[in-house]
Amino acid sequence: MVSRESIVPMESIERSIFFIRGQKVMLDADLAKLYGVPTKVLNQAVKRNIERFPLDFMFQLTKDEKDEVVTNCDHLKKLKFSPNLPYAFTEHGAIMLATILNSPVAVQASIQVVRAFVRLRQMLASNAELARKLNALEKKYDAQFKVVFDAIRQLMTPPEPKHSRIGFLQAEKKK
C-alpha cells in the first residue's frame, strides 16, 4: 500500500487538467509523473494496449495545440523541444492507464485523478446552475423594470398640444 504522503496534492492534479477540443484532459507527461513512470514507458504501455484507448479516451495533440499548452503552462516547458506530440487522456483514459500500469502507485494516483475530475465536474455544474439562476433573475427583473421604464417614458413625454386655430370662425349662412 502506498502512503498518503507520497500522493500528489489534489490542487496539483487539478492544475494539470486542461480543456482541449471540448474535453477535460490530462497530458501523458503529467500522468506519467503522477503514476511514477517515465513518459516513454507510459506511452509504450498505451501502444501495447491501444485497443483499450478509443478516441474518446485518448488523442494526440496537434503541433499548434502542443505549442499553446507549452506556452501557457510553465511546468510543461520541457515539451517545447520534444519532437513527439503529447497524448491527451480523458478521465476514462486516465483510469484505463492505471489498469495497464497496475502498480500500487498507479492505483492510488488514479483514485486521486478520478476525484479531481469529479470535483471539476461538480464545480462546472455549480457554475452552470448559478448562471441559470442569474439568467432567470435577469429575465424576471427585466420584465419588472420594463414596466417602470415604460411608465417613466410616459411621464417624460410631453403631452401633445391641442392645436387651436388662430382667428375667427365664420358662422355658416342659413338658407
Q: Note the pLDDT of residue 58.
A: 95
Q: How confident is the model at residue 113 (pLDDT cuts 50, 70, 90)?
A: confident
Q: Note the pLDDT of residue 139.
A: 67
Q: Note the pLDDT of residue 63.
A: 93
The CA distances from residue 70 to 17, 85, 104, 143, in Å, are 14, 11, 30, 47
Instruction: Give the whole-number percent of the chain exceeding pLDDT 90.
Output: 22
Q: How confident is the model at residue 87 (pLDDT cuts 50, 70, 90)?
A: very high
Q: Note the pLDDT of residue 6.
A: 42
Q: Which amino acid is at 61?
A: L
Q: How many CA atoms lie within 13 A of 156 on its CB side?
A: 6
- pLDDT tens digits for range 57-83: 999 999 999 999 888 887 888 888 888
**Stronger pLDDT, 97 or 112, i.e. the higher one:** 97
**Stronger pLDDT, 40 or 166, i.e. the higher one:** 40
> What's the CA gap between 87 and 42, in Å, rounded?
10
> What's the CA gap between 18 and 32, in Å, rounded?
16
Domains recognised in the chain with CATH numbers: 8-129 (3.10.260)
Considering 40-44, 113-117, 146-150, the range whose residues carry the highest mean pLDDT is 40-44
Quote the distance between the C-alpha of residue 16 and its chain's center: 14
Q: Is the pLDDT of residue 89 over 90?
A: yes
Q: Is the pLDDT of residue 1 over 50?
A: no
- pLDDT tens digits for range 10-22: 677 778 888 899 8
68-89 in b/e form (b: 16+ CB < 10 A) is ebbeeeeebeebeeeeeebbbb
